[in-house]
């Protein structure tokens, strides 16, 4: 955010083979215990859903993210549990061509590029979080300024949902990397311009 405008940051867990979930959307193979969780619950706690924040007694800082953009399927993970507004502490934008069930404080758009560009035009001390998934990331590929990948020590294999579900290539540079005894690496990439 060098010019005072927010970046679009693709912050997501990924396997060693570049998958963000199994073919059926399951992401339970990513470890939720270990020393890497200090980054998740500390620096990136803005990206925790409200029930997780409440269960851990945490409050969002809103200094990393103040907006979340997610696809219909990503948002839909919580719908069967009645979680129609998973991140009420953030401005929530769900990308869908239909009218999915959402909370009253959740925006729905069929044009993610326009929504992200509009969000980038505002002055903010916090960035925009691209929550997922790979199809949406491909649609927003040219808008993504940074990727923060939680690279997990698992292989999902063919059929898993890819980090990007479309053509490339893009060039990225490593801005920072942390390795943990849990086997997870958190890698911060910046778009090479």
Residue pLDDT tens, the chain, 193 long: 556 789 999 999 999 999 999 999 899 999 999 999 999 999 999 999 999 999 999 999 999 999 999 999 899 999 999 999 999 999 999 999 998 899 999 999 999 999 999 999 987 889 999 998 899 999 999 999 999 999 999 999 999 999 998 877 789 999 999 999 999 999 999 998 7
pLDDT of the residue at 105: 94
How is domain 8-191 classified at the CATH fold level? Dihydrofolate Reductase, subunit A (3.40.430)
Please name which of 133, 139, 98, 136 lies closest in space to residue 25, comparing C-alpha atoms: 133
Q: Where are the domains of the chain?
A: 8-191
Confidence (pLDDT) at 2: 54
β-strands 19-21, 8-14 pairing = unpaired
Maximal CA-CA distance, the chain: 43
pLDDT reported for residue 5? 85
The torsion angle over the Cα atoms of residues 45, 147, 190 and 93, rounded to 10 degrees, is -80
What pLDDT sits at residue 138?
95
Q: For residue 104, what are the contacts with CB-CB under 8 A and spacing of at least 6? A: 85
Give CA separation, 48 vs 42, 64, 169, 183, in Å: 10, 12, 30, 21
Other CB atoms within 10 Å distance of the CB of residue 130: 28
Q: Locate tokens 């910046």: which residue?
A: 190
What pLDDT score was predicted for residue 1? 55
Does residue 87 sit in helix, strand or coil?
coil
Residue 190 has phi, psi (to 5 degrees) of -115, 145
State which H helix or E strand residue 135 sits in.
Answer: helix 134-139
pLDDT of amino acid 166: 82
Q: What is the pLDDT of residue 40?
A: 96
Say what the pLDDT of residue 133 is: 86
């Amino acid at each position: 955010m060098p010019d005072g405008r927010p970046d679009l940051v693709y912050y997501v867990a990924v396997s060693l083979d570049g998958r963000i979930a199994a073919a059926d959307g399951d992401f339970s193979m990513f470890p939720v215990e270990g020393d890497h969780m200090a980054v998740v619950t500390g620096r990136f706690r803005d990206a925790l859903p409200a029930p997780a924040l409440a269960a851990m007694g945490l409050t969002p800082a809103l200094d990393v993210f103040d907006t979340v953009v997610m696809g219909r399927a990503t948002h839909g993970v919580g719908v069967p549990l009645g979680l129609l507004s998973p991140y009420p502490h953030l401005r929530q934008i769900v990308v869908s061509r239909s009218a999915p069930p959402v909370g009253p404080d959740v925006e729905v758009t069929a044009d993610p590029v326009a929504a992200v560009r509009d969000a980038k035009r505002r002055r903010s001390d916090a960035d925009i979080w691209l929550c997922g998934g790979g199809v949406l990331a491909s649609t927003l590929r040219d808008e993504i300024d940074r990727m923060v990948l939680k690279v997990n020590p698992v292989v999902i294999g063919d059929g898993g949902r890819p980090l990007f579900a479309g053509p490339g290539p893009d060039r990225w540079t490593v801005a920072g990397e942390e390795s943990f005894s849990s086997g997870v690496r958190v890698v911060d990439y910046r778009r090479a311009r």
